[in-house]
């Protein structure tokens, strides 16, 4: 089990007048991520998601509070925790001068894997993502989707029990994105706990057992996607505003939604089931990438 207890993160910065000020990036966060779940972190730009991931993966220390992996604390047990986690960054960070196999070898060496174990693991991992035939190819020759799959299995080489995925399908086309989804589901079935950040709300809705919605450094909602939708309302009506933008309103019953829609004089009225994006906008007042 992964726990954040009263975690706070602040930064010092200089404002436009050159005066030093304090910015609160994460504000007294309490959060639990259970073993074996796919857990999503959602929030608009600047909400604090990246800061949380950096603290969870020990790239940054909390200003206050503690982060626990079971009984291990990130302040005192960093080396032991690093053996438990794998990290898939948002940006491609392979050594572009090395081949696919050489990049995997390098990762295995960094984790002090014996040569025999490295060779076997590389073979298994590349077969797992259908890249066996590219083992001797330059990383530069891979497509965007192939690089994403390679990033994920590289992070799995040392057999972590928790995998952090930071925007794993960013800039990928829908077909490739769904292949990554299938890979994430396979890892989950194999027993890996997955912590996912994404700007694609439908991705969190499709994959996550629970999601945490973060806004301005605070945890404002935490539950299953379905439960969050039911709390806000299961039915939505949307329509065109005069400025061309789409507006929507959420209701708890189909009858309420129908009555509201029948009284609208606007164009292009649509009645539908609500989704996680509706919940997000309703709670934060912002689009996820705003």
Biggest CA pair distance of the chain:
71
Packed helices 115-128 and 144-156: angle between N→C axes, nearest 10 degrees: 140
Q: What is the pLDDT of residue 290?
A: 46
Q: pTM of the entire structure?
A: 0.89
Q: What is the pLDDT of residue 16?
A: 77
* Domains along the sequence of the chain with CATH: 1-84+160-172+190-226 (3.40.50.300), 234-273 (no CATH)
φ, ψ dihedrals at 135, nearest 5°: -55, -35
HEC letters along the chain:
CEEEEEEEEEEEEECCCCCEEEEEEEEEEEEEECCCCEEEEECCCCCCHHHHHHHHCCCCCCCEEEEEECCEECCCCHHHHHCCEEEECCCCCCCCCCEHHHHHHHHHHHCCCCHHHHHHHHHHHHHHCCCHHHCCCEHHHCCHHHHHHHHHHHHHCCCCCEEEEECCCCCCCHHHHHHHHHHHHHHHHCCCEEEEECCCHHHHHHHCCEEEEEECCEEEEEECHHHHHHHHCCEEEEEECCCCCEEEEEECCHHHHHHHHHCCCCCCCEEEECCHHHHHHHHHCCCCCC
**What is the Cα–Cα distance from 183 to 206, expressed in whole angstroms?**
13
**What is the Cα–Cα distance from 107 to 122, expressed in whole angstroms?**
10
pLDDT tens across the length of the chain (290 residues) = 999 999 999 998 887 777 888 899 999 999 999 999 999 999 988 899 989 999 999 999 999 999 999 999 999 999 999 999 999 988 889 999 999 999 999 999 999 999 999 999 999 999 989 999 999 999 999 999 999 999 999 999 999 999 999 989 888 888 888 989 999 999 999 999 999 998 889 999 999 999 999 999 999 999 999 999 999 999 999 999 888 788 999 999 999 999 999 999 888 899 999 999 999 999 887 665 54
């Amino acid at each position: 089990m992964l726990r954040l207890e009263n975690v706070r993160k602040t930064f010092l910065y200089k404002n436009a007048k050159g005066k030093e000020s304090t910015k609160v990036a994460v504000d007294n966060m309490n959060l639990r991520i259970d073993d074996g779940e796919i857990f999503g972190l959602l929030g608009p730009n600047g909400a604090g998601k990246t800061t949380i991931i950096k603290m969870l993966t020990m790239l940054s220390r909390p200003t206050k509070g503690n982060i626990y992996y079971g009984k291990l604390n990130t302040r005192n047990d960093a080396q032991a925790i690093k053996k438990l986690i794998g990290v898939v960054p948002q940006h491609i960070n392979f050594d572009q001068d090395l081949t696919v196999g050489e990049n995997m070898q390098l990762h295995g060496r960094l984790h002090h894997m014996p040569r025999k174990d490295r060779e076997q693991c590389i073979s298994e991992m590349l077969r797992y993502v259908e890249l066996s035939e590219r083992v001797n190819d330059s990383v530069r020759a891979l497509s965007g989707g192939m690089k994403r799959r390679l990033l994920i299995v590289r992070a799995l080489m040392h057999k972590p029990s928790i995998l952090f995925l930071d925007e794993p399908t960013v800039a990928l086309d829908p077909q490739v994105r769904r292949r990554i989804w299938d890979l994430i589901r396979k890892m989950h079935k194999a027993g890996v706990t997955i912590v996912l950040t994404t700007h694609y709300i439908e991705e969190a809705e499709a994959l996550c057992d629970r999601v945490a919605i973060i806004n301005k450094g605070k945890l404002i909602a935490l539950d299953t996607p379905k439960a969050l939708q039911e709390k806000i309302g299961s039915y939505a009506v949307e329509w065109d505003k005069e400025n061309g933008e789409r507006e929507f309103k959420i209701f708890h019953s189909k009858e309420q939604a129908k009555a509201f829609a029948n009284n609208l004089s606007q164009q292009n009225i649509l009645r539908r089931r609500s989704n996680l994006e509706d919940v997000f906008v309703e709670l934060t007042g912002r689009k996820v990438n705003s």
